[in-house]
Structure 1
Amino acid sequence: MNKQRCRLGHFIAGLGLVMASLSATADFSADITVKLLAPGGTTEDATPVSLTQTVAVADLASGVLAGNLGGTGDISGFMLDDERVSFAGNTILLRLAAGGEAGGQLTTGYLADGLDPARYEISGLAVPGHLITGYTVQAFDGFANSGSSGLLAPVVPAALVFLFNNDTISFNLDSIVFVPRFAGQTENYAEFRIDLLTTPVPEPQPAWLLLAGGALLLLRRRAS
């Protein structure tokens, strides 16, 4: 009887660990690819921009950095000072600087081509045991949830973001208008925080095996 109780206790503890692992918050688990696309070029050069960098999972906290921050690679070399795309937990952090002007308003300087927008495409987003189902977007200095913002338009920053195939985020660049907070074009910037919303994806095999083992223990206990 004592052995049966011990086994039953181990079963319950094991089941608890499985359930906890399914509901725990997890970080990105794989390399992430960042693309910078501006099919209409920039305000200074109409040549289309198509650049790609892959960020190793071990380097996600640094991400893609501008050259003045120590970044290397095609996108890093194209970024304005202090710009970055980095990752923390299951959050994407972007800092964008004003690089152009249109109609007296400060813009990124990246241009669309018709319905094909200028954008960052961030793919390979994977959170272990979870399915990415949505996102929230903030546009405050310091990647915070409130405070000062360098974003004048769009009024709702979530309008800049689109989720594709549960693993790819597109971030629109050509519709951003910056608040002219400082003298000089490139001194103005905006910071964005994209928090991905996830739902646990059960891994039925371990839980099923534990449940089956528990049922067998209960049957043996009743038979004795």
Structure 2
Amino acid sequence: MQRVPSLFRSLHAAVAGATLALCALSAQAGFQSAITVKLIAPGGYTDGTTTDTTPISAQQVVSVADLATGLHAGGSGAVENWMLNTEEITFVDNSIHVRSFAGADEGAAGLFTGYLGSGGAHALYEFDGLSIAGKTIVGFTVSAFDNYADSGFSGLAGPSAGSLVHQIGADALSFDLDSIMFVNRGTGTGNAYADFRIDLILQDSSTGGGGKLPEPATLALFAVAALGARAAQRRKAARG
């Protein structure tokens, strides 16, 4: 009489295990295609003293193989040519990491990137092609702690990190650059930077069932099949 409860306990454990495994696979989903990074500054740039109003429009494609390496200051790409000091943009799992440095000291006004907006249009980075298999981007969270951490020191003096990021398409985000004000770490623009981590909020795509987790009933069937196969092996071993 104890075999039925035992079976249910085994079944429950198997279903739970299968669910956790599938959720883990889902959580590990990462970008699956090349991502285009654009740097747009309609008002040009300034170092706080001298201003060049020539609009900036640069674009660079990051291949799938290079997503983790990303873009870095000192590189030869069109966007990399504009990067300061140790600025970088990398793509890790389903998040975007952006390190931005101060390029303009405006005295009492503060330390800024130096990229200028114009006519109400921000200077910004744009990320296009944020594609993850079976997933749809439904939102994002943004943090600004050093080394892309969850807590600690932040080099962002204002505004709030979340206000800088905007979803501009199904697979595209923008990141305002002209609004960033940096904390003065004691050396002016020389070491004023902020690390931003943009984590995408995803849900399973509804079209075609791509990437969707199986329903609980389906998981139960998988678990029953697995238990049945295991019992058959035990019976065969006992007869042998």
Q: With the length of structure 2 as denominator, give the TM-score of the two structures.
A: 0.74
Shift >6 Å, 4+ stretches: 205-208
1:6-155 to 2 correspondence within 5 Å? 20=22, 24-25=26-27, 26-43=29-46, 44-67=51-74, 71-104=75-108, 105-154=110-159
Counterpart CA distance in 1 for 2:30 and 2:199 is: 12
Distance (Å, rounded) in 1 between the aligned partners of 2:209 and 2:30: 21
Tell me the matched-pair count: 193
Name whichever of 177-186 and 76-85 sits farther off. Answer: 177-186
Q: Gaps spanning 5+ residues in structure 1: where? A: 1-12, 215-224
Deviation of the 1:78 alpha carbon: 1.2
Compared CA separation, residues 102 and 131, structure 1 to 2 (3 A): same
- 1:185 corresponds to 2:192: no
CA distance in 2, matches of 1:180, 1:21: 42
Structure 1 residue 103, shift from structure 2 partner: 4.8
Q: Which moved more, 1:139-148 or 1:103-112?
A: 103-112
Q: Percent identity?
A: 44
Q: 2 CA distance for matches of 1:125 and 1:79?
A: 22
What SS class does the counterpart of residue 33 from structure 2 fall into?
coil
Q: Deviations over 1:154-179 (max 9, x none)?
A: 0x210000012221110000111100
**Where does the alignment leave 5 or more consecutive residues of structure 2 unmatched?**
1-14, 222-240
- TM superposition shift of 1:185: 1.3
* CA distances 1:107-161 after superposition (whole Å, capped 9, x unpaired): 000000021100000010011111000000000101011100110010x210000
SS in 2 for 1:193: strand
Q: Which amino acid aligns with 1:76?
A: E
SS in 1 for 2:45: coil
How far did 1:74 drift?
A: 1.1
Whether the 8 Å CA contact 1:98–1:185 is kept in 2: the answer is yes
Q: Rg: which structure is higher? A: 2
TM-score by length of 1: 0.79
User: What's the secondary structure of 2:44's corresponding residue?
Assistant: coil
